[in-house]
Structures are given as structure tokens and as C-alpha cells.
Amino acid sequence: MKNVSVSFDSSTDEELLAYYAEGDPRAAKLLVERLAPAVLRLASNLLPDKADAEEITQETFLRLWKIAPDWQRGRAKVSTWLWRVAANLCADWLRKKRPASLQEIDDPADGRPMNEARLMDLDRANVLKGELMKLPVRQRTAIALRHLECASNPEIAAAMSISVEAVESLLSRGMKTLRRNLIGRKAELGWEQ
């Protein structure tokens, strides 16, 4: 195994992928620690079921490990490639399977008592997720990457294999639809004083 004494902390994602391709599993572990949370958040925002989002995340990384030896440095960021694969896998899943209704999704259980503010936050999150699920998958993907993952429009364009102008259009149309669908619920959700 090469690079036995390498310190991975300052390594880029591309370098870690190269180390993994050379046979160092520590590099894969660090890549997963760095990038899996973002991939899981994206999948969770595109799919109604957390278990399916976890499965998509695993499949996304399996595909990364398969292409690692052939990775071409400088063509794409590893994170952007992962987002593209995850978004495509989610779109495929949505075409094959009927999404669960919002009522079928379990609330997260963390053992802490629910206070009014946490309940309101949970209600807002559930309403927002429900409205996101109504958007076409490409608009939903663009919005999730931009507003939940803080990706730049060029990063989103690369992840979705579209132009920056197309990203801007998807974001504009998606946000317009969200505003239109949520405008009448502002008071109910505590967004008005």
C-alpha cells in the first residue's frame, strides 16, 4: 500500500480519491466523513423517505469507489460529481416509485421534550418539505443544492449537467412556486409577527 505515512487532514477531495484508488482505505473513510452528510441531505430533500435517501447515499459512494481508478483530475470536483450522481439516482427512484405522502413520514425522534418553538420549527420544516416534494425534480434539486447545501450556481450547473442560465431559471421558477404556495400560510406557520 502506498502513502502509509500520509496525513490526510489537509488533502483535497481529489487527492483523497487518488489515495483510495492507490489502495488506502483511510482516504475513503475521510471522504465519506467529509462528503456523505451533504449527499444525504440532498437525497433527503429530494425523496420523501429517509431510508431511501440513505440507500441513495450508499449507492452514490459505491459508484464513486468504482470510478476512483479512472478519475480524471480537474474535470469536476468530487462533491459536484457526487451531487450529480445522487440527483440522478433520486430522479430514477422517483420515476420508479410513488413518493410517500407527508403524513407517512415519521418525525425525527431525539428523546428531548418538544417545546412550542421546536414544534413550530418542525411544522415549518414539514410544510416546506411537502411543498418541495410538489416541485418538479429538477427545480427541487436546484433549490436543495442552492439553499440547503449553499452550492454556487456554477456548482449546481456542473452537478446537474446544465448551464448556469438554466440553473437560474430553475431556481426562479421553483422559488416563485414555493412563494405562491406558502404565501397564504405565513401566519399559520409563524412567519408573520
Ramachandran quadrant class, 94 (left: phi over 0; alpha: psi -120 to 50; beta: rest): alpha
Burial of 31 (0-12, 13-18, 19+ CB in 10 A): buried
The average confidence (pLDDT) of the chain is 83
Could you give the CA distance from residue 47 to residue 166 in angstroms, rounded to a whole number?
22
pLDDT per residue as tens digits for the range 122-157: 667 777 888 888 999 999 999 999 988 889 999 999
pLDDT given for residue 132 in this prediction: 87
Rg (CA), the chain: 19
pLDDT given for residue 74 in this prediction: 80
pLDDT given for residue 90 in this prediction: 93
The fraction of the chain above a pLDDT of 70, given in percent, is 79
Q: Is a pLDDT exceeding 70 seen at residue 105? A: no
Model confidence band, residue 193 (pLDDT cutoffs 50, 70, 90): very low
The fraction of the chain above a pLDDT of 90, given in percent, is 55
pLDDT given for residue 129 in this prediction: 82
pLDDT given for residue 116 in this prediction: 60
Cβ atoms of residues 160 and 87 within 8 Å: yes
